[in-house]
Structure 1
Amino acid sequence: MAVDKQSITDFFTGLQDRICQALETADGSGRFHEDRWERAEGGGGRTRIIQNGNVIEKGGVLFSAVHGPASDAVLKQMKTTEPADFYATGVSIVIHPHSPMVPIIHMNVRYFELSTGACWFGGGIDLTPHYVDADDARWFHQYLKTACDRHNPDYYSQYKSWADDYFFIRHRAETRGIGGVFFDYLRPADDDHKAALFAFVQEIGNSFAPIYTHFMQKNRALPFGENEKKWQMLRRGRYVEFNLVWDRGTKFGLETNGRTESILMSMPPQANWVYDYQPEPGSREAETLGLLKKRIDWV
């Protein structure tokens, strides 16, 4: 079957359905509320939000498929000056748990094409633990490496490095979490290459549910207290800083008249900032800060 925008869109809508079902099952009580929306310039999407579950405090699983005339900025990005229409579709996810022992997770898989024929895939998945646990980090990165290796033995090291660089809070000189894989502007050379790239994007998308439900089940019952909750609020603050200051997707969406509620669904329900916070030397908080660095070899 030919890989075209309809088959890609169909996969993304099915992926959203499967992930929402898996998260509801793993959470036990939380249910997604769906908000269907239309974009005035063309297209629309399904924003699904889950709140106040057993494990998930707030999360979003978004599908969108939008189209219309490509802006000058988009044409420049695609290295063309020829006027064209665009089509963009994808799934984007951010989950914020109640427990500081369960990590925050983000995933995005997307496809973009111009009426000129130019097209590309992008996406990635990254984990932001409030407390970095080395065993959890190794499990996560091994899972991604295995997924990448099914398609190309160079993908994991290449896209892990890209994630390290992308999910970096420059003004804090720290990574947002323990990274993962990130890729963008993967342009197919021919139809066979397009099918191969799509298969890789499908692999990453299908990795989300088993990865996050694993951490939901493994860490949900770990004990924590007021100190851990305070630290969680500070780490959520760092998450907000990255998304509003550095994340290209957030900025692109707001600059192109995207749907504000959907764009900002990645924000946690609560966060905190403390002036010049310094963790106690030797504490788990200090240990975590020491591991928020690029180029850690977890596998």
Structure 2
Amino acid sequence: MPDKETIETEYRRIQLLICDAIEKADGKGKFEPDSWDRPEGGGGLTRVLSNGNVLEKAGVNFSAVYGDMNEAMQKNLKVSDANTFFATGVSIVMHPKNPHVPIIHMNIRYFEMDNGAYWFGGGIDLTPHYVVPADAEFFHDQLKQVCDKYDRTYYARFKKWADDYFYIPHREETRGVGGIFYDHLIADENHSKQSLFDFSIALGELFSKIYSHFLKENGDKPFTAAEKEWQFIRRGRYVEFNLVYDRGTRFGLLSNGRTESILMSLPQEAKWFYNHQPEKGSREAETLNLLKKGIDWVK
């Protein structure tokens, strides 16, 4: 059964694996390391790429933090019989220059408390500036293949969870084309702790394959000034979700995590226009029509 030291070590490996692969796919950008310590216990390594060939800003953050649970954390986690915690994970967000390349996010994480409780969580979702059904199908098919190796119910369950989680209620639209999301996975009669950990690692290893594909296929496509403006608007939606609804952002701030690493998910530039409405029949309008829950992308 994997212990917290083993999990931490493997998550560190996943961070380096992703950084190496994305540097090769981008062809120019390099991830600069920034090591940090958490005064209450633990720390992490944030690696950020800026101004690459295709990527404008990309962050791959590893953290392993521990210490006393404050009242805000206990309330957030709805526990009263735990005093200390350990949490480790890898979180990734990539913002491309080219509006034909999607934004992508992934997070894999592990949490345990001194009362013996533990769980795995994570998720990966794709946020295209322009929704291309074939790209969404490729993305979801890759996720389904990995899910099916561990539990044939995972994909449908976790896809719905992602549709519900990566949703902007005040806009009544999904953040993108979804993906999978899961939380509080614990061992039971069908899943050992080892299998849950293996699933987490398999998702981490899948990330580079998926995003390298999009960088290669779409990174050199020409784009117009109007398409770039639309990209800025869609980035604004991304910011709204991360600052208002994202649980990882809230947990990081509640646990006194490192602010720069928590907010690395934000793009360098985003825009908001008052009551912006795309032209009827445009690709922008069609994208908004496809930002809905429950779309079955896998044929």
SS in 1 for 2:115: coil
- For 1:241 and 1:116, how far apart are their aligned partners in 2? 35
**Contact 2:73/2:255 (<8 A) preserved:** no
What is the letter of the counterpart of residue 263 of structure 1?
Answer: I
More displaced 10-residue stretch of structure 1: 182-191 or 161-170: 182-191
Q: For residues 74 and 187 of structure 1, do their structure 2 counterparts lie closer, same or farther at Cα, with a shift above 3 Å needed? A: farther
Instruction: Return the offset for 1:237.
Output: 0.3
Give the equivalent residue in structure 1 for 2:192. Answer: 193
Instruction: Return the offset for 1:253.
Output: 1.4
More displaced 10-residue stretch of structure 1: 63-72 or 289-298: 63-72
**Contact 1:33/1:50 (<8 A) preserved:** yes
Structure 2 gap segments, 5+ residues each: none
What is the letter of the counterpart of residue 89 of structure 2?
Answer: G
Percent identity between the aligned chains? 58
Q: Mapping of 1:82-231 within 5 angstroms?
A: 82-189=81-188, 193-231=192-230
CA deviations 1:131-159 (Å, max 9, x no partner) are: 00000000000110011000000000000
SS in 2 for 1:222: coil
SS in 2 for 1:217: helix
**Contact 2:82/2:113 (<8 A) preserved:** no
CA deviations 1:15-67 (Å, max 9, x no partner) are: 00100000000000100110000000000000000000001100100000000
The CA RMSD over aligned residues, in Å, is: 1.4
Q: For residues 80 and 247 of structure 1, do their structure 2 counterparts lie closer, same or farther at Cα, with a shift above 3 Å needed? A: closer
**Contact 2:36/2:43 (<8 A) preserved:** yes
- 1:72 aligns to 2:71 (yes or no): yes
**Contact 1:119/1:188 (<8 A) preserved:** no
**Contact 1:162/1:183 (<8 A) preserved:** yes
- For 1:77 and 1:237, how far apart are their aligned partners in 2? 27
- For 2:190 and 2:122, how far apart are their aligned partners in 1? 20
CA deviations 1:68-103 (Å, max 9, x no partner) are: 012234445555422421100000000000000000
Q: For residues 90 and 159 of structure 1, do their structure 2 counterparts lie closer, same or farther at Cα, with a shift above 3 Å needed? A: same
Q: For residues 3 and 169 of structure 1, do their structure 2 counterparts lie closer, same or farther at Cα, with a shift above 3 Å needed? A: same
Instruction: Return the offset for 1:191.
Output: 11
Q: Mapping of 1:244-283 within 5 angstroms?
A: 244-283=243-282
**Contact 1:186/1:197 (<8 A) preserved:** yes
Give the equivalent residue in structure 2 for 1:32. Answer: 31
More displaced 10-residue stretch of structure 1: 25-34 or 187-196: 187-196
- For 2:255 and 2:193, how far apart are their aligned partners in 1? 27
CA deviations 1:241-271 (Å, max 9, x no partner) are: 0000111111221233211100110000000
- For 2:168 and 2:220, how far apart are their aligned partners in 1? 30
**Contact 1:130/1:232 (<8 A) preserved:** yes
- For 1:27 and 1:262, how far apart are their aligned partners in 2? 22
